[in-house]
Amino acid sequence: MEHKTSYKQELLILGYNKTSVEQQIRNINNFFKITQKEIQEVKPSDIKNFVKHFKSKQLHSSTIRSCYNHIEKYFIYLEREQNIKKNPFNYYQLELSKDKHTIREILTQQEITQLYNKANAQETIILHLCYGCGLRAFEMEQITLNDIDFEQKTLTVQKGKYSKYRVIPLSEKINQDLFNYLQINQHYTMKQQNILYNQAGTKLKQYTALAMMKKLAQKANIKANVTLHGLRHSIATHLLENGVNLTQIQQFLGHKQMETTEIYTRVRKQQLQYLVISNK
């Protein structure tokens, strides 16, 4: 713990974004949780098994490489500070074929309905957060009980991208489903205040939620590539299709620039021009 704390402080001093630093520390913690080794005990074979574990989750090669790089940097730091005698990463060569850039597919409104129809209680909450509330994957992972105001029917993202704060209105359906879900699973939320948890009773990670959504897509007989971020793409597009203007969607998604919203939603150029003109 002491080593990770000093490493985290070093990253912040070097000017790394706080959100990025927290992600790096989460990846490091995950590595030690999976390997069940102390820093001095880690061997190249442990690194190999860790990479194998992530490959089995069918994550994109860039995601695996990013996580690997975070852990490798930490071990370089440990070696430099003489906390370890040998750096196991010096004796392991990452072999990772580069995946083609994954195109996030926008689901139709009918496909979204199919997902909801086949979803269990926990899967429904994931859909509500990533589709109904348009949350990014890491935002979904961070939502706690304290972020929901059932009376006002709002959900607060305390630290979105670039640590941006935003409040999202909840539909009556989402508000009620969240309330019912948390009532049933109150013993978990009392422990860690997280909304979503895994079978071990700890915070549900985004890669686990992604695996759940892919299984749900199979049950719903959906051929499209369903991802957590793709659900966010989908709600943005569906809002546009239903006549919501770009400024409102920009606020809903938490974008800093309107240009990001225009690219993100992949709406035909003609439709974008019409919406921009109509909202001047």
Burial tier of 144 (Cβ tally within 10 Å: 0-12, 13-18, 19+): middle
Are residues 7 and 16 in contact, defined by beta-carbon separation less than 8 angstroms?
Answer: no
Are residues 222 and 114 in contact, defined by beta-carbon separation less than 8 angstroms?
Answer: yes
H helix count then E strand count, the chain: 14, 3
pLDDT tens-digit series, residues 218-237: 999 998 889 998 999 889 88
DSSP state of 146: G
Angle formed by the axes of helices 206-219 and 109-118, to 10°? 100
| Entry field: residues in the chain | 280
Residue 248: predicted pLDDT: 81
Closest CA to 159 of 148, 170, 147: 147
Alpha carbon distance 109, 224 (integer Å)? 13
Quickly state the pLDDT bin for 122 (edges 50, 70, 90): very high
Residues labelled as active-site residues? 136, 161, 229, 232, 255, 264
Residue 268: predicted pLDDT: 37
